[in-house]
Amino acid sequence: MATNYRVVDLKAGASRSEILVEKAHSPEDAARQATGEVLVRSGRPVDLRVRVYFQKGGQPTTMVRLYRKVEDREDAAGVGSFGG
């Protein structure tokens, strides 16, 4: 049984849209196909980018929150540098 993923785009300034992805290997893969961005499962609330819903074989629906990576944030310049 194939897993379908429903990606809810939460990008600021855009109307929330849902994108159905039928052929993906993971929630991250579904989000990449839907948005063109590589997203991760942990991050700051301000970096929340999408919610991905999916259901596998009779199990309850699962939701995964995916966030922009630190390197992809506009304020990431200088993050991790110690100056000098």
Least confidently predicted of 4-8, 62-66, 74-78: 74-78
> What is the per-residue pLDDT across 11-27, written as a single tens digit (0 to 9) for each?
866 677 899 999 999 99
Q: Residue 17's pLDDT is what?
A: 86
Residue written as token pair 């929150």: 65
Q: Rounded mean pLDDT of 53-74?
A: 88
Residue 84 is predicted with a pLDDT of: 43
Within 8 A by CB and 6+ apart from 5, the residues are: 20, 21, 22, 24, 27, 30, 52, 53, 54
Distance CA 43, CA 58 (A): 30
Q: Considering the entire predicted model, what is its pTM?
A: 0.79
44: pLDDT strictly greater than 50: yes
